[in-house]
Amino acid sequence: MGIAFFFITEAIEKTPKNESGLRLEGFFSDLKKPSVLVWVLLPVATAIIPFVLDDLTLHMNFAEHVLGRTDGMLSFENVAMLVFQVIILAWGEEIAWRGFFVGKSMGRFPFWLCAIVSSLLFAIGHISDGAAGAILYDIGFVFIDSMIFAVIYKKSGNCLVSTVSHIIGNAVGLAYCFIAVLPR
């Protein structure tokens, strides 16, 4: 729905291409804006930290929880399909949550309110089956990542830039999951 609303509001408002929150031609210049690249790479750390903390202290098999949460929407048997799905899902989420929800609401409300509300809703959307502790831990880190993606969107003005960050974070997290569940 958010993807559809993004494109509908862009069409209704007759948003010029250079002012759209989804600009392919402005991607590299948006990525070069001050401190954007640092924020784009931050989800590498936030993808690894929850697994390391779990391994060191919590021991709740967080990798298995994440793989269980994503099993219904990702094809783990076919690597090419998995890569395609990770890219498409992240792109769709960024158009809906950052491009539409944050981008369109920032005109009426302060950025931080938009970022917090959208991140809360985004995290709630990632609730899955499992132990309560693992679910809360998981959605806490999803919330943090969503806040990072919102900052990237605010700094770059382009949800393609936050999409790249989202893809990198998801790819690193999934890679860590696979490594963590391999027999030792």
Domain locations in the chain as residue ranges: 2-16+30-181
181 vs 122, residue with greater confidence: 122
Determine the Cα–Cα distance for residues 167 and 181; give it in Å rounded to an integer: 21
pLDDT surpassing 90 at residue 82: no
Q: How far apart are CA 183 and CA 100, in angstroms?
A: 42
What are 105's two structure tokens? 């609401």
What mean pLDDT do residues 68-82 have?
82
% of the chain with per-residue pLDDT over 90: 65
With CA atoms as reference, report the closest residue to 82 among 177, 150, 146. Answer: 177
Indicate whether 182 pLDDT > 70: no
- pLDDT tens digit sequence for 31-60: 999 899 999 999 999 999 999 999 899 888
Compute the distance between CA of residue 94 and CA of residue 153 in angstroms, rounded to an integer. 9
Structure tokens at 182: 């391999």
**pLDDT computed for residue 183 by the predictor:** 62
| Residue keyed to tokens 């950025």 | 111
The answer to whether residues 85 and 174 touch, using CB atoms and an 8 Å cutoff, is: no
pLDDT at 91 over 60: yes
**95 neighbors 22 (Cβ within 8 angstroms):** yes
What's the confidence (pLDDT) of residue 184? 55
127-142 pLDDT, tens per residue?
A: 998 889 999 999 999 9
Q: Tokens standing for 45?
A: 């750390």
Q: Which of 28, 46, 50 is nearest to 37 (CA)?
A: 28
Given a contact cutoff of 8 angstroms between Cβ atoms, the answer to whether 151 and 115 are in contact is yes
Residue 102 and residue 70: Cα distance in Å, rounded?
25
Please give the model's pTM, rounded to 2 decimal places: 0.92
pLDDT at residue number 111: 97
Query: In the numeric block, which tokens belong to residue 28?
Result: 């590299």
Q: Mean pLDDT across the chain, nearest whole number? A: 91
Measure the CA–CA gap between 3 and 52, rounded to whole angstroms.
34
Model confidence pLDDT, tens digit, residues 139-172:
999 999 999 999 999 999 999 999 999 999 999 9
* Residue range 1-7: mean pLDDT, rounded: 88
CA distance 77 to 36: 34
Q: Which amino acid is at 21?
A: G
